[in-house]
Chains A and B, each alone.
Chain A
Amino acid sequence: MTLMQQLIMWQQEQARKEHLEPYMVLQFNTIKEIVRLQPKTSLDLLHIKGIGPAKARKYGEIILGFVRGNSINKDEISTTEGVGGDLFSEAQTVNDLAAHSSIPASQSMHYDQETGEVIDDQDAVVSVTDFVTMMDTMLRTNFRSVRIQGEVVGFKQNASGHVYFEIKDRFSVMRCMIFRDRYGLSGVQISDGMEIVITGYPNYHKQYGFGFVGTMVELYGEGALKKAYDDLKKKFENEGLFAPEKKRVLPQLPERIGLITSRTGAAIGDFTTNVGQYGYKIIFHQSRVEGAQAVDDLMEALATMAKKNLDVLVIVRGGGSLESLQAFNNENIVRMIAQFPVPVIAGVGHEQDETLTTLVADRGVSTPTAAARAVRESWDQCGELVRSKEQMLTHFFERALRQMQEYIDVKERNITNALEHIVSSAHILFHRFIVSAQNVTQDIDRYKVFLRTSQKSMIQAYERRIADSHKTLSISHVVNVLRRGMSYNVERLRFFHKTISHYDPQRQLSLGYSIARDAYGKIVRNCGDVTVGERIDIQVSDGSIHTIVNEK
């Protein structure tokens, strides 16, 4: 065994122990460098790309051990370079692997399980246990997963549920066992005489020697598969697993979409191109979808997806034979889907391929494209809904506008009417004003005419009167009138003089008449007007005589 092979074997074993990917232990290029440079000390190791202080501390002694143990076979370096890491990849036929992994008879090795050290020493003697352990490790390492077809014989199941049988063909026979969990997982009930395909790895047991450990078992042949399918379908039907009332309604407007399918199949493209661009968050979990090996992947994917807080889970793959679709008819898978926390859409196969997964899913459709349509359904409807609501709203808006237009029209008419009313009223008033004004003008004109005419006649009248006055005021006329008046007045004066002279008291006194007056000047007319002894005055023509009354 070359140093390269040893290092790779150790790397893979170490990775398995630490639950790491092999490259995380040592990268292939680093292994190649180790082989090329043959480091002797820890310091040498640190010069190799891919080995830091941490790796040197952790693996340094082991690696140096490998190099030391292998230093005598330096001539192999050139040959190992060409072989590369492909030697140990999984995808090799049984024959290839067997050829490459055969241990050279000339060599003897000590493989220390504790230190991982393999010492290649021709003189060393190894214990049976060590050799068996070494054999076992090599078998497991070199045959990670092999599929073997054959007929079942001597099937038995022990108390703890593990199953044991032999698998044979015309020329060979091999011991097999399958652990309880894995057997349960495969969802197949095997019995003697069945053609099966068993997947697993060889081992070398300390007590029982060589055997084959199955990790998966599948039925071989359409007939057997069909029977198993029909039996399981009936079982689920009886349990009510496919009942319509068990179907959950798909969520409206899903955003977090879980997607389980193969990275390489056509289904992933069919789904992603047809699901539309609605801003989904598509959470994808790779899974093989072909044959019984897909069961493990699907289970792992379902378990992971169950924790991803999805709106909906989609499982898709293209169509195929009953054999290729058998993972989707696996009892465990079907039950996991039935119990999945959110609704599941299954688009597995083509029109005629009806898998139990399709039947148990909340929405089972026949193709990945149909699954995509189921996801986008509510989004498309929502789009249509929004468009129809938009139309309705537009309609309402137009109606409201029309109403407003009508309202404005009415108001406009009202205002126009009011204005017209005002204008016409004003017009009437104005007309009246004009008429009145015309009347006034006419009146004025009339008065003017009247005034003019009356002025004329008045002047004429005055002129006439003035003319008349001229006549009466002639001098001779005046003289005559005055003369007539004066002679008349002279006569009247003469008459008045005679009358006045007649009644003059002085004349009377001169004629001998006297006037007696008492002491107070009062004229005495009767005897009673005086008393005896009273002094009286008697007026005569030339003076007065004062006397006293003696007797009466």
Chain B
Amino acid sequence: MAQAKSNLTKNLKEIEEIVSWFESQEEVDVEKGIEKVKIGAKLIKESKKRLQEIENEFEEVKKELAE
């Protein structure tokens, strides 16, 4: 779970970086651009997968008897 979350956060950061890269380019190096888009598409796919409906886990806890 925590793994998935950190991945999502990391993915979003990387996607953001790619988008900023495009925005910072006056003229995009086509080959580099395609490469970046490819990576970006993969990251977006992963992120969407995490964001799509995943059933919640439900656990009931009780007072711990150790007290």
A interface list, Cβ under 8 A from B: 19, 252-253, 255-256, 272, 275, 277-286, 300, 303-305, 307-308, 379, 382-383, 385-386, 389-390, 392-393, 396-397, 399-400, 403-404, 407
Query: Are the CB atoms of B61 and A255 closer together than 8 Å?
Result: no
Number of A-B contacts (CB under 8 A): 113
- Among A281, A303, A304, which residue has its beta carbon within 8 angstroms of that of B56? A281
User: What's the interface size class on B, roughly?
Assistant: 35 or more
Residues of A within 8 A of B28 (CB): 396, 399-400, 403
Distance between A304 CB and nearest chain B CB, rounded to angstroms = 6
Against A, the Cβ 8 Å flags (1 = close, 0 = not) of B35-56 are 0110011001001101101111
Residues of B within 8 A of A279 (CB): 1, 4, 50, 54-57
- Among A275, A389, A399, A404, which residue has its beta carbon within 8 angstroms of that of B15? A389
| Cα–Cα distance between A272 and B18 once the two chains are bound (Å) | 36
Distance between A279 CB and nearest chain B CB, rounded to angstroms = 3
B interface list, Cβ under 8 A from A: 1-2, 4-5, 8-9, 12, 15-16, 18-19, 22, 27-28, 30, 33-34, 36-37, 40-41, 44, 47-48, 50-51, 53-65
Query: Are the CB atoms of A283 and B61 closer together than 8 Å?
Result: yes
- Among A281, A300, A403, which residue has its beta carbon within 8 angstroms of that of B63? A300
Query: Are the CB atoms of A280 and B56 closer together than 8 Å?
Result: yes
Distance between B48 CB and nearest chain A CB, rounded to angstroms = 6
Query: Are the CB atoms of B5 and A396 closer together than 8 Å?
Result: no
- Among B2, B37, B63, which residue has its beta carbon within 8 angstroms of that of A397? B37
Query: Are the CB atoms of A304 and B64 closer together than 8 Å?
Result: yes
Query: Are the CB atoms of A285 and B5 closer together than 8 Å?
Result: no
Residues of A within 8 A of B9 (CB): 252-253
**Across the two chains, which residue of chain B brings its CB closest to A263?**
B60
Residues of A within 8 A of B47 (CB): 382, 386
**Across the two chains, which residue of chain B brings its CB closest to A285?**
B61
Query: Are the CB atoms of B37 and A400 closer together than 8 Å?
Result: yes
Distance between B20 CB and nearest chain A CB, rounded to angstroms = 10
Query: Are the CB atoms of A392 and B22 closer together than 8 Å?
Result: yes
Given contacts A386-B44, A389-B44, contact A285 B62 (CB under 8 A): yes
